[in-house]
Amino acid sequence: MKYIKTNEAVKVENYPYGFSLKTTLTDTMEFNPKKGYRRVTQTVNPKNGRVNKPKKSTYYAFLIRYYDENNHIKSTNIANFDYSLEGFNKFAKWAEENFELLTSEEVEYLYMQLLVFSKVDMVATVNYKGAKTEDLIPLYDAVVKTLLQGIKSKGTENLFSAISIDKDKILAVCPTNYEPFKVVHYK
């Protein structure tokens, strides 16, 4: 896949407009640190040359555009952290390899998103898998420190290569017989 920089506006000529007309489409990304990313497209009315009202998609925690095999612009959320450790690690690897596509403000936002995820995952591991907080802190500590360093750098440093949480080590500190949702029948 050939990804498109998040701050790059792409013009598409001869874009279909109605049944028989063609126009120019401008495809951009909008980023808001409180809401995330959304795609914005805008066409020109070929009948009068006026720019039409922009069409805006839904906000996502992360969204990136790319060219498909037909050279059409598509978008994907790159696992959207998919709220699993595998998704977390997959996204960190993607961000490391594609760092140049992002602005420093977006990188800082992504470090914050990953920091929140790591803290939520740690609390969930305690609550739903029975792990002890003191056993988990050393397993998350290096990642949290790296994310905080990335936030402090205002997103100028590519620290994504140092961001990975080992699922096997986390599962190793969880009791195997822990059942938080076990139904007990009382007589």
Q: Write down the residue that tokens 């977006």 correspond to.
A: 106
- The burial class, CB within 10 Å (0-12 / 13-18 / 19+), for 155 is buried
Contact indicator for 157, 177 with CB cutoff of 8 Å: no
Residue 161 tokens, joined? 């290569």
Query: Residue 38's pLDDT is what?
Result: 96
Share of the chain above pLDDT 90, in %: 87
Query: Residue 80's pLDDT is what?
Result: 59
Q: According to DSSP H, which parts of 70-103 are helical?
A: 85-97
The CA–CA distances, whole Å, from 136 to 40, 42, 71, 131, 147 equal 41, 48, 46, 7, 17
Contact indicator for 119, 80 with CB cutoff of 8 Å: no
Contact indicator for 29, 6 with CB cutoff of 8 Å: yes
Tens-place pLDDT, residues 128-176: 999 999 999 999 999 999 999 999 999 999 999 999 999 999 999 999 9
Residue 79 has pLDDT above 60, yes or no: no
Tens-place pLDDT, residues 83-125: 788 889 999 999 999 999 999 999 999 999 999 999 999 999 9
The residue type found at 34 is K
pTM of the model: 0.88
